[in-house]
C-alpha cells in the first residue's frame, strides 16, 4: 500500500474495492479539478489571504458532496491560495479534523436543527463545531469567524446553532455510544474491539483521531515510522536484487535502494508508476537496474512478468483497508465497507502467492499491510502457509503495530526460503 505518510492519492479503501487482479490507482479516481465547485463560494485562488475558514468550508463541501479525497484535494486547494503557513495549518486541521470527527460533530449540531441543512451550511456548522468542541477555540472567535466565512443566506442559521453548540460544549457533551463519541462507523469499532480487545482497540481508534505527525528520513523523504520499519525488515545490501511488488508512491523502494540494492518497483497503473519514478529521481536514485537504482515497471502484481527465483528479496506491501492509518486519510473511514475487507483479503492472498515463486533460494519474502483486521493480516498468512511451505519457506513471527500518537499501525510477516529450493 502507499506509504501512509504520503499524500500520493486515495488509498485502495477510499471507494469501491479493487478487482482481484488490479492494484488500485490514483489515476482512476476523480481529480480534484473535476469535482463540482462549492456553489456560491469563490475558487480558492480568489480568496483573500486571511480567509482560511472559507477555504475550509469549500473543501469540506467538495469532500462531502462532490466525492473528493481529502488528502488529494486539500494540497491542490492550498497551492492556489496566498495563505500564510499558520493559516494553511488551520485549514488543514479544520478540514481533516472535522472530516474525521464528523459523526460526533453532527450528533451535537443536529440537536439544534429541524431539517438537514444545505451542504454549505452543513460544512460551516461542522468546522465551527470542531473549533468549539475539539480545538478549544474561544467561543466568540470561533462563532464570529465561522459566520463570516459562511454565505450570507446561511449566516443566521450558522450563528444561532453554533451559539447553542458553544453552550453545550461548555456544559459537557454526552454521546449515545462509543462509536459516535470516537466518530467511526459502528462496524469498525465493533470489529476492532472484537479482534484487538476492547482497550487496545479504543486506544488505537483514539490515536487515529489525532493529527498525523511527519517523520523525515535522512534523505529528506517524509514517511511514517511504521512504513520505515517495514522497509527496514527487507534485507538488502549492495549487489542484491529486490522486488517491490506494490511500490507506489515509492517510499520503501527508495529506502531499500538507498542501502545499495537494485530495486524493481512495480505498479499496475502508469500514473502511480510515474509517481514512484518521480520520487526516486528526486532522491537521487538511478533509473537503471544497478546499486542505488529503482527500475520502474508497469505490471499486474498478481501476474508478475519475472522468472522464478530471480530476486534476493520480494516485498508485497499490499493494497488494504487502511484501518491502521485512518488519521492520514480522514474520509477513508466513511468510504470503506465491511464487504470490502474480504475482497481485499482475496487480492492480498493472490499477490502473496504470485510473489513467492520469484524469491531466490535463500531469499526473503515480506508481506505488509497498514490495517488491523484479522482477515487481512494473520488470516492471509495462515491461508498461504501451506503453499509457501511447499516452496521451501519458513515463517518468522508476525508483527502488529497498533496506531499511537507518534505513528500509524502496521502488520508485517517475513519468510525465508530454503537455500536448496
CA-to-CA separations, 8 to 27, 73, 222, 355, 360, in angstroms, rounded? 11, 11, 12, 24, 32
CA proximity to 266, closest of 315, 322, 334: 315
> 54 with 299: CB under 8 angstroms?
no
Instruction: Tell me how far apart the alpha carbons of residues 48 and 245 are, in angstroms, rounded to a whole number.
Output: 45
Residues pairing with 265 in the sheet:
244, 296
- Helix ranges restricted to H, 67-151: 70-79, 85-92, 98-100, 102-109, 119-130, 139-148
404 C-beta neighbours (distance < 10 Å), count: 17
Which of 246, 285, 320, 370 does the annotation list as catalytic? 370
121 C-beta neighbours (distance < 10 Å), count: 21
- Our answer to whether residue 370 is catalytic in this structure is yes
CA-to-CA separations, 225 to 3, 22, 403, 405, in angstroms, rounded? 10, 27, 11, 11
Instruction: Tell me how far apart the alpha carbons of residues 99 and 104 are, in angstroms, rounded to a whole number.
Output: 10
**Set of cell numbers at residue 418:** 530454503
> Cell 545490501 maps to which residue?
237
CA proximity to 103, closest of 64, 57, 72: 64
Which residues are marked as active site? 370
Amino acid at each position: 500500500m502507499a506509504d501512509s505518510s504520503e499524500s500520493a492519492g486515495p488509498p485502495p479503501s477510499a471507494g469501491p474495492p479493487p478487482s482481484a487482479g488490479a492494484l488500485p490507482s490514483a489515476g482512476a479516481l476523480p481529480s480534484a479539478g473535476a469535482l463540482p465547485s462549492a456553489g456560491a463560494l469563490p475558487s480558492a485562488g480568489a480568496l483573500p489571504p486571511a480567509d482560511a475558514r472559507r477555504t475550509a468550508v469549500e473543501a469540506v463541501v467538495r469532500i462531502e458532496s462532490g466525492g473528493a479525497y481529502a488528502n488529494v484535494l486539500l494540497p491542490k486547494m492550498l497551492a492556489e491560495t496566498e495563505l500564510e503557513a499558520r493559516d494553511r495549518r488551520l485549514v488543514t486541521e479544520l478540514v481533516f479534523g472535522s472530516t474525521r470527527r464528523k459523526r460526533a460533530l453532527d450528533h451535537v449540531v443536529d440537536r439544534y436543527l429541524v431539517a438537514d441543512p444545505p451542504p454549505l451550511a452543513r460544512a460551516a456548522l461542522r468546522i465551527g463545531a470542531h473549533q468549539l468542541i475539539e480545538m478549544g477555540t474561544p467561543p466568540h472567535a470561533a462563532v464570529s469567524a465561522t459566520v463570516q466565512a459562511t454565505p450570507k443566506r446561511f449566516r443566521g442559521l450558522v450563528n444561532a446553532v453554533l451559539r447553542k453548540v458553544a453552550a453545550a460544549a461548555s456544559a459537557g457533551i454526552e454521546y449515545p455510544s462509543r462509536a459516535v463519541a470516537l466518530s467511526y462507523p459502528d462496524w469498525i469499532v465493533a470489529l476492532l474491539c472484537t479482534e484487538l480487545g476492547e482497550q487496545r482497540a479504543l486506544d488505537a481508534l483514539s490515536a487515529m483521531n489525532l493529527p498525523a505527525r511527519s517523520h523525515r528520513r535522512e534523505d529528506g523523504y517524509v514517511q511514517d515510522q511504521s512504513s520505515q520499519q517495514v522497509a527496514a525488515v527487507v534485507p538488502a545490501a549492495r549487489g542484491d536484487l529486490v522486488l517491490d511488488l506494490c511500490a507506489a508512491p515509492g517510499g520503501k523502494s527508495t529506502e531499500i535502494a538507498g542501502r545499495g540494492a537494485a530495486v524493481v518497483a512495480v505498479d499496475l497503473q502508469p500514473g502511480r508508476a510515474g509517481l514512484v519514478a518521480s520520487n526516486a529521481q528526486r532522491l537521487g536514485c538511478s533509473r537503471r537496474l544497478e546499486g542505488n537504482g529503482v527500475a520502474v515497471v508497469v505490471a499486474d502484481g498478481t501476474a508478475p512478468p519475472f522468472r522464478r527465483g530471480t530476486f534476493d528479496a520480494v516485498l508485497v506491501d499490499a493494497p488494504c483497508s487502511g484501518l491502521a492509518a485512518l488519521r492520514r486519510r480522514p474520509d477513508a473511514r466513511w468510504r470503506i465497507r465491511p464487504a470490502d475487507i474480504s475482497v481485499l483479503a482475496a487480492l492480498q492472498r493472490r499477490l502473496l502467492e504470485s510473489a513467492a515463486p520469484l524469491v531466490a533460494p535463500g531469499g526473503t519474502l515480506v508481506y505488509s499491510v497498514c490495517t488491523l483486521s484479522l482477515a487481512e493480516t494473520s488470516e492471509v498468512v495462515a491461508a498461504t502457509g501451506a503453499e509457501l511451505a511447499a516452496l521451501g519457506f519458513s515463517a518468522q513471527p508476525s508483527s502488529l503495530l497498533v496506531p499511537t500518537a507518534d505513528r500509524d499501525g502496521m502488520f508485517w510477516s517475513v519468510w525465508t526460503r530454503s537455500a536448496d529450493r
